[in-house]
């Protein structure tokens, strides 16, 4: 009995240890320490870069810089390149992964409580306004004037994600946008094409509009035992995979909302959700999830990503790294079968289609106001942001980072991952940047997103009608604006809107 209790206690302790926040320091060789989570071996190009790295002009011997990331996976670039940073500056890099769903809470708690466990915060710019306006992150302007972060090579839309009130508070690390991926093999199947044409009266292709998206999704949704491209299904097959729950579901609404002509607020910051654009967008989203896998209402990044890569859906609206992983034999069952397209849009009066691809999430690196050695921390994020360094981690499939510099697309032969249709993928990437639609980065952005996402989830689950969901989200947005101070929020919004207009994101 005692023995069994001891064994239970040991088992529980191990499980608790495994479930806690994971902290690890990359070893000298770039591989993880024995107690650390298993980090995949870096591709050869990373080792070449480490070998070629020379000591920099200024050394920071003995300095340790701790980076907090939203998952072990997004910490891979820091793990892999830590030996190079050590060689260049004498800085040890420690990586801490906090849980994705409560990431915002983790970094806010660290600063607000005065703990200061993290020196570098790697986070989506939707938190930037809150962090910068509260003085919780360091203004990088002076450091940038000393050690150039080469921002001219960064796409203007991603430069916006690093600034607050015109000052530089972050350096970019990841260039996200959403795209439509589809099963090219199924879409090119002659029998499927004929059946689609017969049923809907137009040819089967990647959907251009949201209405076509529903048709294609419905067409491919099939039960176990049905035929799909000449093969009998052993499990249900779904039309789509999308993200339906917080913290990201609002971006999947915004793809639609923006293409129906919606903008978050008017010039005086009155919410524009409860409009035709909002109702059309949310209704389409509600209709679409009926053609998703049975548990689609529980889908965040991993579930949505996995459903497509495991060959369970015909289409998937996702971040651009999914297409890279789709060509990786270690993770994908659909190698060579992925087609690339813009997220669907809305047909305009002149017959053209307006596509809007939400520049969702991204990651930027900032320095906590509690950092022990902010200059050393800056040198780390500046090292990671260099064109030749960032090219490595935005072009390999495992880190989940995506191109954000003009130079990242300059020479596809230098990409770590190579596959036949890489040029086609890059062309689609560039097009979706042109169609980009920004996330809010002003103070309170996370609260606006959370309120909107909660009501979207309720509408998708059938707990609220489309109209009520948008009305309730509008009420909450007004309430958040009042709580944060209406005049100040209007000023922040107008500055945000102007910045978007300056780079052509909004008319």
Confirm or reject binding of residue 233 to another protein (CB under 8 A): no
* Residue number, 6 or 194, with CB nearest to another protein: 6
CB of 458 to another protein, least distance (A): 4
Scan for tokens 């009998």, then name that residue: 232
* Residue number, 31 or 475, with CB nearest to another protein: 475
Binder of another protein out of 29, 141, 145, 463 (CB under 8 A):
463
SS3 string, 323-362, reads: HHHCCCCCCCCCCCCEEEECCCEEECCCCCEEECEEECCC
Confirm or reject binding of residue 244 to another protein (CB under 8 A): yes
Q: Do 343 and 179 contact (CB within 8 A), yes or no?
A: yes
CB of 189 to another protein, least distance (A): 23
* Residue number, 11 or 194, with CB nearest to another protein: 11
CB of 320 to another protein, least distance (A): 26
Binder of another protein out of 19, 34, 198, 349 (CB under 8 A):
19
Confirm or reject binding of residue 2 to another protein (CB under 8 A): no
Scan for tokens 């409009």, then name that residue: 275
In terms of DSSP bridges, do strands 231-232 and 22-24 run parallel, antiparallel, or are they unpaired? unpaired
Binder of another protein out of 212, 342, 395, 454 (CB under 8 A):
454
Confirm or reject binding of residue 472 to another protein (CB under 8 A): yes
Binder of another protein out of 134, 226, 335, 410 (CB under 8 A):
134
Confirm or reject binding of residue 10 to another protein (CB under 8 A): no
Confirm or reject binding of residue 354 to another protein (CB under 8 A): no
Scan for tokens 């060789």, then name that residue: 29
Nearest to 496 by CA among 254, 166, 147, 133: 166
Query: φ and ψ at 424, to 5 degrees?
Result: -65, -40
Burial class (CB in 10 A: 0-12, 13-18, 19+), 185: middle
Nearest to 212 by CA among 326, 315, 292, 313: 315
Confirm or reject binding of residue 102 to another protein (CB under 8 A): yes
Count other C-beta atoms under 10 Å from residue 7's C-beta. Answer: 10
Residue 357 tokens, joined:
């691809």
Residue 466 tokens, joined:
């489309």
Binder of another protein out of 195, 228, 229, 297 (CB under 8 A):
297
Burial class (CB in 10 A: 0-12, 13-18, 19+), 2: exposed
Nearest to 173 by CA among 152, 149, 138: 149
Confirm or reject binding of residue 179 to another protein (CB under 8 A): no
Residues 47-76, one symbol each (x = binds another protein by CB under 8 A, - = not), give ------------------------------
Residues 409-438 contacting another protein, CB under 8 A: none
In terms of DSSP bridges, do strands 92-97 and 22-24 run parallel, antiparallel, or are they unpaired? antiparallel
Confirm or reject binding of residue 86 to another protein (CB under 8 A): no
Total number of residues binding another protein (CB under 8 A)?
50
Interaction site with another protein (CB under 8 A):
1, 4, 8, 11-12, 15-16, 19, 101-102, 104-105, 108-109, 112, 130, 133-135, 235-236, 244-246, 293-299, 312, 443-444, 446-447, 450, 454, 457-464, 472, 475, 483-484
């Amino acid at each position: 009995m005692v023995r069994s209790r001891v064994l239970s206690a040991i088992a529980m302790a191990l499980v608790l240890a495994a479930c806690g926040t994971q902290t690890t320091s990359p070893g000298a060789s770039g591989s993880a320490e024995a107690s650390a989570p298993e980090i995949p071996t870096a591709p050869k190009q990373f080792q070449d870069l480490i070998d070629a790295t020379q000591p920099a002009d200024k050394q920071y011997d003995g300095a340790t810089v701790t980076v907090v990331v939203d998952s072990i996976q997004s910490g891979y670039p820091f793990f892999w390149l830590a030996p190079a940073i050590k060689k260049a500056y004498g800085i040890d890099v420690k990586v801490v992964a906090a849980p994705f769903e409560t990431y915002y809470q983790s970094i806010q708690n660290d600063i607000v409580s005065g703990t200061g466990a993290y020196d570098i915060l790697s986070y989506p710019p939707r938190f930037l306004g809150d962090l910068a306006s509260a003085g919780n992150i360091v203004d990088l302007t002076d450091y940038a004037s000393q050690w150039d972060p080469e921002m001219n090579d960064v796409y203007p839309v991603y430069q916006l994600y690093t600034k607050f009130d015109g000052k530089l508070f972050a350096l970019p690390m990841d260039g996200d946008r959403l795209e439509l991926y589809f099963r090219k093999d199924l879409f090119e199947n002659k029998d499927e094409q004929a059946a689609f044409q017969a049923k809907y009266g137009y040819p089967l292709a990647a959907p251009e509009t949201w209405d076509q998206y529903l048709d294609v999704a419905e067409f491919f949704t099939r039960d176990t035992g049905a035929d799909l491209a000449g093969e009998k299904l052993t499990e249900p097959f779904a039309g789509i995979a999308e993200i339906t729950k917080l913290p990201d579901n609002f971006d999947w609404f915004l793809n639609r909302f923006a293409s129906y002509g919606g903008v978050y607020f008017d010039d005086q910051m009155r919410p524009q959700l409860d409009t035709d654009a909002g109702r059309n967008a949310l209704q389409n989203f509600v209709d679409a999830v009926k053609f998703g896998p049975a548990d689609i209402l529980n889908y965040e990044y991993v579930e949505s990503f996995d459903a497509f890569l495991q060959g369970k859906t015909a289409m998937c609206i996702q971040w651009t790294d999914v297409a890279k992983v789709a060509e990786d034999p270690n993770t994908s069952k659909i190698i060579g079968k992925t087609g690339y397209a813009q997220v669907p849009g809305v047909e305009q009066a002149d017959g053209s289609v307006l596509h809007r691809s939400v520049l969702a999430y991204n990651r930027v690196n900032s320095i906590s106001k509690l950092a022990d050695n902010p200059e050393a921390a800056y040198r780390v994020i500046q090292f990671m942001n260099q064109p030749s360094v960032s090219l490595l981690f935005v072009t390999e499939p495992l880190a989940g980072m995506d191109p954000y510099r003009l130079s990242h697309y300059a020479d596809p032969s230098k990409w770590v991952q190579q596959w036949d249709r890489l040029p086609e993928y890059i062309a689609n990437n560039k097009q979706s940047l042109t169609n980009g639609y920004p996330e809010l980065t002003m103070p309170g952005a996370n609260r606006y997103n959370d309120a909107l996402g909660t009501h979207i989830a309720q509408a998708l689950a059938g707990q609220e009608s489309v109209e009520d969901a948008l009305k309730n989200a509008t009420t909450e947005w007004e309430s958040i604006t009042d709580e944060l101070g209406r005049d100040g929020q209007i000023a922040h919004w107008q500055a945000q809107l102007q910045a978007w207009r300056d780079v052509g994101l909004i008319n």
